[in-house]
């Protein structure tokens, strides 16, 4: 299976430059988060649409000839907002299919605000994916997949390229995983040079189960992180790069996600959505314990949630 190389990710970075933000990093003393060591946070919730997804969306559209029918996507929220924003900026129509069962009003509002037309679908996430794929086939609209195409992975990999340049040295990166687009892009850039750790909740453990049971495993995600990490299965390309370069998969409880979000707010006055708090929860819950002196980065992947979702 061919997946993006660092050269492909560098090309993607050049392609999307000026259309997305180079988001900042923040190194936080451990005591502020109740940790024994400092940690560096990649603040992707400050991205132009509030999440990393806009990187892959722009790269996909800029690398293709978009037809008159525009673009179509399936999303629980962040990918849809990214596709809507990128399409509007580039002068294209966008249609976003969203599973009604996991739709959050804040994310629906942002998709519409950025110019997307939203269609709510009944049934499971897999049913939504099927409806979006059928629309692309019948209308000719460009399918902008949330996690399982070459340009999506290359676009998402630009975040890892930025982190490495900003930190100047990194041992470990913690990434929350849904369908595998973000961690796949990160792993495609970092390869064997940096330890890549996947973090999921017990109710959205698609990657952890896929590594144990094989790529055909299909999940029924639920819980606090389902709207952002609710991919029913890993993408084929995502699975290939994850299998080759992701070093560890850890799981956290929903209660740990709430706790991590509260610690983030209390210690830094920053707010992330549940998916972002999942990655931090690996440290705050003890699911991942760094070695002394280990240089760790946590990707805060998005911030598209109600600001008081964690009871802060």
| pLDDT at residue 155, as a whole number | 98
Q: Tell me the angle at which helices 150-167 and 236-245 cross, rounded to the nearest 10 degrees.
A: 30
- CA–CA distances in Å: residue 194 to residues 136, 217, 235: 37, 27, 22
Closest listed residue to residue 230, CA positions, set 122, 106, 74, 113: 74
Length of the chain: 312
The pLDDT-based confidence of 215 (bands split at 50, 70, 90) is confident
Element (H, E) at 195: strand 195-201
Say what the pLDDT of residue 220 is: 77
pLDDT one-digit tens code per residue, 164-194: 999 999 999 999 998 899 999 999 999 999 9
**298 phi, psi to nearest 5 deg:** -110, 125
Average the pLDDT over each of 229-238, 263-272, 273-282 and give the range with the smallest value. Answer: 229-238
Determine the pLDDT at residue 125. 78
- CATH number assigned to the domain covering 54-143: 3.40.50.1100
Q: How far is CA 276 from the centre of its chain?
A: 9
DSSP letters of 113-173?
HTT-EEEEE-S-HHHHHHHHHHHHHHH-PEE--SSSSHHHHHHHHHHHHHHHHHHS--SEE
Gap between the Cα atoms of 283 and 80, Å rounded:
29
- The residue ranking higher by pLDDT, 214 or 277, is 277
Identify whether the C-beta of residue 173 lies closer than 8 Å to the C-beta of residue 52.
no
196 touches 227 (CB < 8 A): no
pLDDT of residue 206: 87
Q: What is the pLDDT of residues 26-77, one digit of tens each?
A: 999 999 999 999 999 999 999 999 999 999 999 999 999 999 999 999 987 8
For residue 101, what pLDDT is reported? 82
Q: Measured between alpha carbons, how far is 186 from 166 in angstroms, rounded to an integer?
A: 15
Confidence of residue 247 (pLDDT cuts 50, 70, 90): very high
Contact 38, 28 (CB under 8 A): yes
Range name among 55-59, 118-122, 184-188, 227-231 with the lowest pLDDT average: 227-231
Two domains, one topology: 6-52+150-300 and 54-143: yes
Query: What pTM value is reported for the model?
Result: 0.94
The arithmetic mean of pLDDT across residues 265-269, rounded, is 97
- Options 3.40.50.1100, 3.50.50.60, 3.30.70.60, 3.40.50.10490; CATH for 6-52+150-300 is 3.40.50.1100
**What pLDDT shows up at residue 312?**
58
Sequence ranges of the domains in the chain: 6-52+150-300, 54-143
CA torsion, points 75, 76, 82, 87, in degrees to nearest 10? 40
- pLDDT score for 140: 96
């Amino acid at each position: 299976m061919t997946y993006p190389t660092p050269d492909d990710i560098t090309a993607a970075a050049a392609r999307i430059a000026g259309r997305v933000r180079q988001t900042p990093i923040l190194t936080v003393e451990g005591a502020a988060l109740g940790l024994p060591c400092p940690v560096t946070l990649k603040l992707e919730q400050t991205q132009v649409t509030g999440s990393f997804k806009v990187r892959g969306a722009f790269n996909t559209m800029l690398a293709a000839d978009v037809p008159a029918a525009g673009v179509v996507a399936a999303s629980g929220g962040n990918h849809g907002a990214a596709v809507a924003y990128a399409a509007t900026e580039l002068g294209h129509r966008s249609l976003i299919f969203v599973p009604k069962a996991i739709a959050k009003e804040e994310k629906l509002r942002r998709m519409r605000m950025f110019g997307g037309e939203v269609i709510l679908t009944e049934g499971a996430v897999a049913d939504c994916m099927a409806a979006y794929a059928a629309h692309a086939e019948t209308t000719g609209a460009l399918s902008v997949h949330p996690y399982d195409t070459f340009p999506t992975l290359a676009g998402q990999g630009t975040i890892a390229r930025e982190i490495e340049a900003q930190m100047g040295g990194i041992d470990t990166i913690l990434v929350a995983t849904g369908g595998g687009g973000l961690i796949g892009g990160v792993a495609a850039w970092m390869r064997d040079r940096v330890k890549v750790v996947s973090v999921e909740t017990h109710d959205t453990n698609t990657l952890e189960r896929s590594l144990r049971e094989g790529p055909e495993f299909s999940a029924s995600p639920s819980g606090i992180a389902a709207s952002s990490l609710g991919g029913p299965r890993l993408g084929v390309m995502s699975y290939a790069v994850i299998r080759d370069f992701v070093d560890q998969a850890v799981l956290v409880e929903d209660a740990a996600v709430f706790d991590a979000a509260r610690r983030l707010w209390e210690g830094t006055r920053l707010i992330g959505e549940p998916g972002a708090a999942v990655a931090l929860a690996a440290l705050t819950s003890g699911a991942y314990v760094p070695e002394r002196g280990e240089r760790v980065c946590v990707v805060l992947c998005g911030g598209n949630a109600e600001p008081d979702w964690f009871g802060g």
